Amino acid sequence: MLETNLERIRHNLETLSTFNSTPDHGCTRLSFSHEHRRALDFLTEACTSLGMDVVIDPVGNFRARLKGSSLSAPAVMCGSHIDTVLHGGKFDGAAGVVAALEALTVIKEQEVSLRHPLELIAFVEEEGASFGGGLVGSKALVGQYTVKDLMKIVNDEGVSFYEAAKRFGLNPDDLENYVIKKGDVKALIELHIEQGNVLYTKSIPLGVVEAIVGIRQLSVTLTGMANHAGTTPMNLRHDALAAASKLISFVEHCARHEAFDTTVATVGKIHCFPNVTNVIPGKVVFSVDIRDIRDEGISKVEQLIREEVKRISSEYGLQYSISLVGDSKPVKLSEEVISVIQRTAEEIGVKYLKMHSGAGHDSAILTEVTDVGMIFVPSIEGISHAPDENTTFEDLKTGCDVLVNSLVKLAQ
Ligand SMILES: [Zn+2]
């Protein structure tokens, strides 16, 4: 069994975390920023010194390849994303990139001979912190986004992803030549922090991910009548916020009691108009985010919410509209890759839990073109997307040990 090096993992992760535009306020590394450039330079240097061929693709995905003995065999990939949210942590994404680098370093050091090439990937713009939506690098990589789509994805300054990539020195027009098709890649394993507290609470060092949730996001608008809060009797009101409050409770009730134990639903954003103390709210817009590993769970909750919006709107005399803001399907990961990861964990003697991911990942997108597995390592207190995001280096090393030995099995 190969063993990874905890001190090197720590050193590489700490180094990546210094490419940060908000020191002392969490880690911020936005796509196409100066910090992104420095992180790419760091990876380029590290991979080149291992004798790997490095390519930064037309949208900014970093890809480095270690040759196998077969020139025609498809690559086995590993990695994660290199960007962060604003004031995020230093492990989200970076943990998987550092783990992949460590795995390839150990394989090179130990002169393990493999038939398949190995490829490290650091996806660009997973979080959507600059351009909204997220998963841009992986979607472009599998051909879900074309050059035209990249022109339509725009940041807060009105600059398109396409334009930003060009300013970064890339040639997005060349995307087509870099798209991965079925058969090009044998398998992908992404190591990632759990970003929840399941592993931490159970004191289990490793999660083997079986499925990634689907996410459906709605925007609900309720329109009533703004009026004087003192002179309008209760029976003559069309209070959009009072109606919204019932619906928000209903969303929570629905996910708790009307679907599966894997179903979750959240109202995380609300705008009230005019938002004035002595005026009855005339209009409210709120978000609904529904997730499950089963489409039926998502659809059932969505259906019940739609019916309740209609019923409550009629009760309060409101107009309503519901728009679909985002929709991604739940995905099952590859049984073959899952069993390789499990077998490896058992051989090393690492306790693991089979679980699902409640967050979206580039891995979900890659299932379109290859067999995908994911390894989770515990997040202390379940904290993520925040400066206090943390994982012990012992746990990260355990994840790296399972990763490297799983890669060897897949690439033999
Ligand atoms: Zn992430």
Q: Is residue 249 part of a domain?
A: yes
Within 10 A of 342 (CB to CB), how many other CB atoms are there? 17
Q: Is the pLDDT of residue 163 over 80?
A: yes
Q: Is residue 71 part of a domain?
A: yes
Angle at 299 between CA 297 and CA 305, to 5 degrees: 105
Q: For the segment 171-213, what is each residue's pLDDT rounded down to a tens digit?
A: 999 999 999 999 999 999 999 999 999 999 999 999 999 999 9
DSSP, res 229 = T
pLDDT at residue 130 in the model:
86
Q: Do 284 and 271 share a structural domain?
A: yes
Q: Do 77 and 61 share a structural domain?
A: yes
Q: How far is the CA of 257 from the centre of ligand 1 (A)?
A: 29
pLDDT at residue 156 in the model:
84
Q: Do 295 and 196 share a structural domain?
A: no
CB 281 within 8 A of CB 232: no
Q: Is residue 127 a known part of a binding site?
A: yes
Q: Is residue 34 a known part of a binding site?
A: no
For 321, residues 6+ apart whose C-beta sits below 8 A from its C-beta are: 220, 221
Q: Do 198 and 255 share a structural domain?
A: no
Q: For the segment 290-347, what is each residue's pLDDT rounded down to a tens digit?
A: 999 999 999 999 999 999 999 999 999 999 999 998 888 999 999 999 999 999 999 9
Q: Is the pLDDT of residue 62 over 80?
A: yes
pLDDT at residue 277 in the model:
97
CA dist 398 and 342 (Å) reads 13
Q: How far is the CA of 370 from the centre of ligand 1 (A)?
A: 20
Q: Do 221 and 208 share a structural domain?
A: no
Q: Do 386 and 319 share a structural domain?
A: no
> Among residues 328, 356, 374, which one ends one of the domains?
328
Q: Do 226 and 195 share a structural domain?
A: no
The tokens for 304 are: 């019940």
CA dist 277 and 280 (Å) reads 8
Q: How far is the CA of 246 from the centre of ligand 1 (A)?
A: 33
Cis before 205? omega within 30: no
Q: Do 271 and 138 share a structural domain?
A: no
Q: For the segment 346-390, what is each residue's pLDDT rounded down to a tens digit?
A: 999 999 999 999 999 999 999 999 999 999 999 999 999 999 999
Q: How far is the CA of 232 from the centre of ligand 1 (A)?
A: 50
Q: How far is the CA of 402 from the centre of ligand 1 (A)?
A: 19
pLDDT at residue 327 in the model:
87
Q: How far is the CA of 187 from the centre of ligand 1 (A)?
A: 19
Q: Do 130 and 22 share a structural domain?
A: yes
Q: How far is the CA of 273 from the centre of ligand 1 (A)?
A: 34
Q: Do 230 and 197 share a structural domain?
A: no
Q: How far is the CA of 270 from the centre of ligand 1 (A)?
A: 25
Q: How far is the CA of 302 from the centre of ligand 1 (A)?
A: 26
Q: Do 358 and 228 share a structural domain?
A: no
Q: Is residue 361 a known part of a binding site?
A: no
- Write the CA distances from 307 to 317, 320, 407, integer angstroms: 15, 12, 48
Q: For the segment 88-142, what is each residue's pLDDT rounded down to a tens digit?
A: 999 999 999 999 999 999 999 999 999 999 999 999 999 988 887 789 999 999 9
Which CATH number characterizes residue 194's domain?
A: 3.40.630.10
Q: Do 136 and 109 share a structural domain?
A: yes
- Helix axis angle for 335-348 and 393-411, nearest 10°, is 120
CA dist 256 and 309 (Å) reads 18
The tokens for 335 are: 């049984």
pLDDT at residue 75 in the model:
97
CB 303 within 8 A of CB 295: no
* DSSP H helices in 153-239: 161-167, 198-202
Q: Is residue 87 a known part of a binding site?
A: no
What is the tally of structural domains in the chain? 2
Q: Is residue 192 a known part of a binding site?
A: yes
- For 205-231, give one letter per residue: b (16+ CB within 10 A) or e: bbbbbbbbbbbbbbebbbbbbbbeeee
Q: How far is the CA of 358 from the centre of ligand 1 (A)?
A: 12
The tokens for 221 are: 């608008």
> Among residues 306, 328, 350, which one ends one of the domains?
328
Q: Is residue 1 part of a domain?
A: no
Mapped onto helix, strand or coil, the DSSP state of residue 246 is helix
Q: Is residue 129 part of a domain?
A: yes
The tokens for 151 are: 């022109």
Q: Is residue 85 part of a domain?
A: yes
Q: How far is the CA of 385 from the centre of ligand 1 (A)?
A: 9
Q: How far is the CA of 390 from the centre of ligand 1 (A)?
A: 13
Q: Is residue 233 part of a domain?
A: yes
Q: Is the pLDDT of residue 273 over 80?
A: yes
CA dist 324 and 15 (Å) reads 41
Name residue, tokens 């910090």: 35
Q: Using H for helix, E for strand and C for coil, what is the string for 116-160?
A: CCEEEEEECCCCCCCCCCCCHHHHHHCCCCCHHHHHHCECCCCCE
Q: How far is the CA of 254 from the centre of ligand 1 (A)?
A: 28
**Range of the structural domain that residue 22 is part of:** 6-213+330-411
> Among residues 308, 328, 348, which one ends one of the domains?
328
pLDDT at residue 53 in the model:
97
pLDDT at residue 88 in the model:
95
Which CATH number characterizes residue 242's domain?
A: 3.30.70.360
pLDDT at residue 343 in the model:
98
Q: How far is the CA of 213 from the centre of ligand 1 (A)?
A: 14
Q: What rounded mean pLDDT belongs to the chain?
A: 96
Q: How far is the CA of 339 from the centre of ligand 1 (A)?
A: 23
